A = this chain, B = another copy of it.
Amino acid sequence: MSNTKLASIAPSRINDDTLRKFLGYHLKRSFNVIQADLSETLKPFDLRMLTFTALVFIVDNPGLSQSQLADAMDIERPNLVIIIDELEQRELIVRDRVQTDRRMYALRATLAGKRLCKKAVAADKAHELRLLAGLDNETKANLMSALEALSHHLQNRTESHNS
């Protein structure tokens, strides 16, 4: 860290006064760290954030369709296909044909899927607690409620835009 020569030319401490005022700036930085760390946490289960999220949704909502899932995950239908393919090939979920509407599949988790989901959720929870270790409980509670409020607010906003 001996950038004594550098100090005369470039700022030794980077100024982010302008960017610090932007929600998107902090959101991106925070998400990048959590996303990178979460990838490591999910690696033992052979899951990524997207496959993990899809699996949890299917476990919690047996019978939902790919359209519904894509909508819940805020991704486009085409991008969900390979995620479902992967989960199905690993026999964590099944695609059941719906008899009353043969266009769509009812997604259901297998026993193996439910078991893996439970383990991954526990690992993810432990991972987040480890990541937030050092913050006092009040800050953590504020963080969670603020983020949940933001997420809901933005979600409702886009819904009313689409209609």
Give the interface of A toward B (CB within 8 A): 5-6, 8-11, 14-35, 38, 49, 53, 56-57, 59-65, 68, 71-72, 74, 98, 100-101, 106, 121, 124-125, 128, 131-132, 134-135, 139, 142-151, 153-155, 157-158
- Would B135 and A64 count as touching, CB distance under 8 A? no
Main secondary structure of the interface of A (DSSP, over half): helix
- Would B30 and A154 count as touching, CB distance under 8 A? yes
One complex includes copies of this chain to the number of 2
Are A27 and B149 CB-contacts (below 8 A) given A18-B56, A125-B21?
Answer: no
Min Cβ gap A152→B in Å is 9
- Would A128 and B24 count as touching, CB distance under 8 A? yes
Q: Could you list 23 A-B pairs, sorted by A, with CB under 8 Å?
A: A8-B100, A10-B68, A11-B61, A14-B64, A16-B57, A16-B72, A18-B56, A18-B60, A23-B128, A24-B49, A24-B124, A25-B53, A25-B151, A26-B147, A27-B27, A28-B49, A29-B154, A29-B155, A33-B154, A134-B153, A135-B149, A139-B146, A142-B145
